[in-house]
């Protein structure tokens, strides 16, 4: 790809980007969110047409107008969010949409080919399994085989490790190696440095839509890459205090709850959160994290067990009461649950307190007070917005999260539950959110941070609990935390030690 330039309105997403992929290499594409990585790859995959530049595939100058064109050139993309139909089998998902399908599907020959492919590249997979029953790592293998089945030899992986356990991640990296050994070429989009170091042969760093440089992985290190990526040195980790024994602000006693499919998903879960600490909940997605957050917030019914906040029982109490008693909650889904996208900043900020005398009279909302609040938040939290009256869907992810955090923190909570608070945010916004969490801790708030990002948990938390299949497997102080051990616990592999859950 030579001199690729693409603009959206006046925003230049890629500025004269030149990128070269050699046959048989894993090439990492590194950059912060918004650096233009995904845009560049979308150009290669035919989703966007560049305003300038050319694409040369296997020595041939080509124009890629659609994913179908890309597919024909052997380029395939595995998206961050899988595009699979959950009730169908692995085979059905793989052959869907192929032109060679007749009126009746020839599943058995497809299954043979899938088995061959999975053996060739060491991608263990049962072609007859239902996709909905598979773990995230296995679903990813389905996506990869789907690409290989279509004879792709250039594979784009968009942040492939974001949902994987450390073990699954290792397995993926070894698969990548065996694929390049057999002549495939792989582009690996990521913003995690250690992944670049572990998995790639070369790395191209993007910043602000421009190429900072391309280097051989063996000739660089994480610090250098971090500098290239952010253009400034990164603060390594945030200071934590020693674990002084403080009073408990939130306690879950043998709590059980159903998930959305009415399966018991939290099983006798017990947990204790102390004043002035950040307790991290580590775990692979889908082990009861969402359910845990929701039972605390009163949004999910507790089947058995008890939850106590301060000295008040809050088991199956309406959400509004729990909030009034001092809970703040930042849900993982800021777009779908935390905020109403067509509302303005002001309206979003009063979503949980519109009924209070502060922001409404007997009948009507107090627009002036709402606006004052919004202006204060915009300046205090440095929210970048075209104005306080525009719908928040014009804000970037980091700014949306700031608005959401601002609303929750303005409650002066005793307990703050945050779920994946920095997912999808760039380094700057992530740092900002982490600082806010630490500030809350300094003020004596008990912070429960549920996160899929183990690095994040290791960076900010005082204590770490590991959740697996709806139970807390172990709780440890951060200074005692060992990544390998946590990884094993997250995968459910470690034997439960006797002191186990607190």
Partner 1 sequence: MSIISALSQTRDKVKDVKFFVPFASASLAFVAGAIILGSAGVDVGNAYAIMFRGAFGSVFGFGDVLLKTTSLILVGLAVSVAFRCRQWNIGAEGQLYMGALGGAIVGISLIGAVPGIAILAVIVVSFIFGSLFALVPAVLKVKFGVNEVISTVLLNFVAFLFIAYLLHGPIKAPGFNPYSPEIFDESQMPIIFPGTRLHAGIIIAGLATVGVYYLWKSKIGFEIRSVGANIKAARYAGMNVGRSVLITLGISGGLAGIAGGLLVSGVQHVLIEGISPGYGFVAVIIALLGRQHPIGVAIVAFFFSVLMTGSETMYRSLGIPGAFSMTLQALVLVFVLVGQLFVIWLSRRNGRGVR
Span near partner 1 by CB under 8 A; candidates 132-140, 185-193, 386-394, 451-459? 386-394
Binding mask 296-335 for partner 1 (x = CB under 8 A): -x-x------------------xxx--x-----x-x-x--
Going from the C-alpha of 91 to that of each of 72, 85, 112, the distances in angstroms are 21, 11, 10
Residue 288 carries which DSSP code?
S
Residue 382 carries which DSSP code?
T
396 part of the interface to partner 1, by CB under 8 A: yes
| List 277, 352, 453, 462, residue binding partner 1 (CB under 8 A) | 352
338 part of the interface to partner 1, by CB under 8 A: yes
Instruction: With H, G, I as helix, E, B as strand and everything else as coil, classify residue 92.
Output: helix
Residue pair 445/279 in contact (Cβ under 8 Å)? The answer is no
| List 384, 435, 439, 493, residue binding partner 1 (CB under 8 A) | 384
Residue pair 124/117 in contact (Cβ under 8 Å)? The answer is no
Name the strands in the sheet holding 264-274, side by side, starting at the edge strand that comes first in the sequence.
264-274, 248-258, 302-309, 312-313
Distance of closest approach, residue 357 Cβ to partner 1, in angstroms:
11
Distance of closest approach, residue 106 Cβ to partner 1, in angstroms:
39
336 part of the interface to partner 1, by CB under 8 A: yes
103 part of the interface to partner 1, by CB under 8 A: no
**Max CA separation in the chain (angstroms):** 72
Going from the C-alpha of 164 to that of each of 356, 423, 452, the distances in angstroms are 43, 14, 9
Span near partner 1 by CB under 8 A; candidates 104-112, 214-222, 353-361, 483-491? 353-361
Residue pair 100/146 in contact (Cβ under 8 Å)? The answer is no
485 part of the interface to partner 1, by CB under 8 A: no
Q: Closer CB to partner 1, residue 115 or residue 360?
A: 360
Distance of closest approach, residue 500 Cβ to partner 1, in angstroms:
32
Distance of closest approach, residue 243 Cβ to partner 1, in angstroms:
31
340 part of the interface to partner 1, by CB under 8 A: yes
| List 393, 412, 443, 502, residue binding partner 1 (CB under 8 A) | 393
Span near partner 1 by CB under 8 A; candidates 24-32, 226-234, 359-367, 443-451? 359-367
Distance of closest approach, residue 365 Cβ to partner 1, in angstroms:
6
Here the tokens at position 215 are: 């280097």
| List 25, 26, 39, 429, residue binding partner 1 (CB under 8 A) | 39
Residue pair 256/304 in contact (Cβ under 8 Å)? The answer is yes
Instruction: With H, G, I as helix, E, B as strand and everything else as coil, classify residue 286.
Output: coil
Residue pair 418/450 in contact (Cβ under 8 Å)? The answer is yes
Q: 361-380: which residues touch partner 1 (CB under 8 A)?
A: 363-365, 367
Residue pair 434/450 in contact (Cβ under 8 Å)? The answer is no
Other Cβ atoms less than 10 A from the Cβ of 243: the count is 13
Q: Closer CB to partner 1, residue 248 or residue 396?
A: 396
Q: Closer CB to partner 1, residue 355 or residue 444?
A: 355
Span near partner 1 by CB under 8 A; candidates 62-70, 152-160, 349-357, 470-478? 349-357
Identify each DSSP E strand in 247-326 by its residue range: 248-258, 264-274, 278-282, 302-309, 312-313
- CA atoms of 165 and 170, how far apart (whole Å): 9
Going from the C-alpha of 411 to that of each of 338, 353, 371, 415, the distances in angstroms are 15, 9, 17, 10
Q: Closer CB to partner 1, residue 367 or residue 479?
A: 367
- Where does this chain bind partner 1 (CB under 8 A)? 8-11, 13, 39, 48, 297, 299, 318-320, 323, 329, 331, 333, 336-343, 347, 350-352, 354-355, 360, 363-365, 367, 384-386, 393-394, 396
């Amino acid at each position: 790809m030579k001199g690729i330039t693409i603009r959206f309105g006046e925003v230049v997403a890629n500025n004269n980007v030149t990128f070269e992929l050699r046959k048989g290499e894993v090439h990492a594409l590194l950059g912060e969110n918004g650096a233009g990585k995904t845009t560049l790859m979308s150009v290669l995959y035919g989703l966007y047409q560049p305003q300038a530049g050319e694409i040369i595939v296997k020595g041939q100058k080509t124009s890629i107008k659609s994913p179908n064109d890309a597919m024909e050139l052997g380029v395939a993309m595995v998206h961050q969010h899988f595009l699979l139909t959950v009730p169908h089998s692995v085979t059905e998902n793989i052959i869907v949409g192929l032109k060679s399908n007749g009126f009746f599907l020839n599943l058995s020959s497809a299954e043979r080919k899938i088995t061959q492919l999975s053996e060739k590249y060491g991608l263990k997979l049962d072609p007859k399994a239902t996709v909905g029953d598979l773990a995230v790592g296995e679903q990813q293998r389905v996506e990869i085989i789907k690409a290989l089945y279509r004879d792709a030899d250039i594979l784009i992986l968009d942040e492939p490790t974001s949902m994987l356990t450390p073990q699954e991640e290792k397995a993926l990296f070894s698969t990548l190696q065996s694929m390049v050994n057999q002549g495939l070429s792989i582009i690996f989009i990521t913003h995690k440095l250690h992944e670049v170091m572990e998995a790639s042969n070369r790395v191209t760093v993007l910043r602000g839509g421009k190429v900072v440089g391309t280097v051989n992985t063996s000739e660089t290190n994480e610090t250098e890459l971090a500098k290239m990526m952010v253009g400034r040195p990164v603060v390594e980790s945030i200071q934590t205090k020693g674990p002084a024994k403080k009073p408990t602000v939130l306690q879950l006693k043998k709590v059980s709850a159903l998930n959305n499919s009415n399966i018991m998903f939290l099983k006798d879960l017990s947990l204790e959160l102390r004043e002035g600490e950040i307790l991290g909940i580590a775990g692979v997605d889908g082990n009861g994290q969402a359910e845990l957050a929701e039972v605390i917030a009163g949004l999910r019914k507790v089947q058995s067990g008890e939850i106590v906040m301060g000295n008040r029982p809050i088991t199956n109490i309406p959400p509004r009461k729990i909030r009034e008693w001092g809970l703040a909650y930042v849900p993982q889904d800021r777009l779908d649950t935390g905020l109403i996208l067509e509302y303005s900043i002001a309206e979003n900020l009063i979503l949980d307190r519109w009924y209070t005398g502060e922001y409404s009279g007997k009948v009507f909302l107090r627009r002036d007070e709402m606006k004052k609040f919004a202006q204060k938040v915009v300046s205090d939290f440095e929210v970048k917005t075209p104005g306080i009256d525009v719908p928040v869907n014009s804000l970037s992810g980091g700014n949306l999260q700031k608005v959401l955090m601002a609303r929750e923190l303005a409650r002066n909570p005793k307990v703050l539950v945050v779920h994946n608070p920095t997912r999808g945010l760039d380094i700057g916004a992530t740092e900002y959110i982490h600082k806010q969490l630490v500030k809350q801790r300094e003020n004596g708030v008990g912070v429960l941070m549920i996160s899929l990002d183990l690095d994040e948990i290791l960076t900010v938390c005082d204590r770490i609990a590991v959740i697996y299949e709806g139970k807390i497997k172990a709780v440890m102080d951060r200074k005692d935390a060992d990544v390998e051990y946590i990884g094993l616990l997250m995968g459910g592999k470690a034997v439960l030690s006797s002191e186990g859950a607190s």
